[in-house]
């Protein structure tokens, strides 16, 4: 049923955008229906309750993130210099987040206490990615991995402020400066 899939896809797209912009707690099913052009009964028919829809949005974000990390890890393993390999991995993750800014937005909102009543997402979606990267790098330091990930997510969502208080997010010079910062951070981390 192509029409049913199209309606479901519209619901998921609208929910993803609204959850990323407003968070789970700040988004109603009625708003998702309005944004997708469907009534609330149709939304529920396609995805179930709001918590089910949120889980589906997070599952989809996880799958995209996993695919990007699998590709980056293949490149990491092909690199002879371990430090350069990790730098490439971190750069590729930054590129993924810049291209899919809703993914870090979803996680940032969650980690700032959004959707507290929807449990198990970290165990199902976040920790497997941390474990994947930790195993690929061959280290046992998940706190540093979390720190790098939080830094990238924060940068993608808010950028940096200059001395005049002007926010720079996705302009090329700021991204290049941040990428160089990550390279330095990784070099120090790998040397430690």
- Name residue, tokens 């829809």: 53
Tell me, yes or no, whether 1 and 85 share the same domain: no
**182: domain range?**
58-191
Sign of the dihedral through C-alpha 9, 10, 15, 21? positive
- 125 lies in the same domain as 153: yes
Residue 35 is part of a domain; what is its CATH number?
Answer: 1.10.10.60
Same domain, 123 and 100: yes
Q: Which helix (H) or strand (E) holds 168?
A: strand 167-168
Say if residue 131's pLDDT is above 80: yes
pLDDT, tens only, 31-84: 999 999 988 888 888 888 999 999 999 999 999 999 999 999 999 999 999 899
- Counting the structural domains of the chain, the total is 2
Q: Say yes or no: 116 and 175 in one domain.
A: yes
Is the domain of 23 the same as that of 83? no
Question: Residue 72 and residue 18: Cα distance in Å, rounded?
Answer: 29
For 110-130, what is the mean pLDDT? Answer: 94
Task: Give the percent of the chain with pLDDT over 70.
Answer: 99
More reliable by pLDDT, 29 or 2: 29
């Amino acid at each position: 049923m192509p029409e049913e899939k199209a309606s479901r896809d519209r619901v998921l797209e609208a929910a993803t955008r609204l959850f990323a912009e407003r968070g789970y707690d700040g988004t109603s099913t009625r708003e998702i229906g309005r944004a997708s052009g469907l009534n609330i009964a149709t939304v529920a028919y396609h995805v179930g309750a709001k918590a089910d829809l949120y889980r589906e949005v997070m599952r989809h974000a996880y799958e995209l993130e996993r695919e990007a990390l699998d590709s980056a890890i293949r490149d990491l393993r092909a690199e002879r210099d371990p430090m350069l390999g990790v730098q490439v991995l971190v750069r590729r993750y930054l590129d993924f987040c810049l291209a899919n800014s809703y993914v870090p937005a979803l996680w940032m909102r969650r980690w700032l206490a959004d959707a507290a009543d929807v449990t198990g997402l970290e165990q199902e979606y976040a920790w497997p990615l941390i474990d994947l990267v930790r195993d690929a790098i061959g280290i046992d330091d998940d706190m540093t991995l979390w720190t790098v990930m939080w830094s990238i997510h924060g940068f993608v969502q808010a950028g940096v402020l200059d001395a005049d208080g002007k926010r720079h997010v996705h302009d090329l010079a700021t991204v290049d400066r941040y990428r160089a910062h990550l390279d330095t951070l990784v070099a120090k981390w790998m040397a430690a």
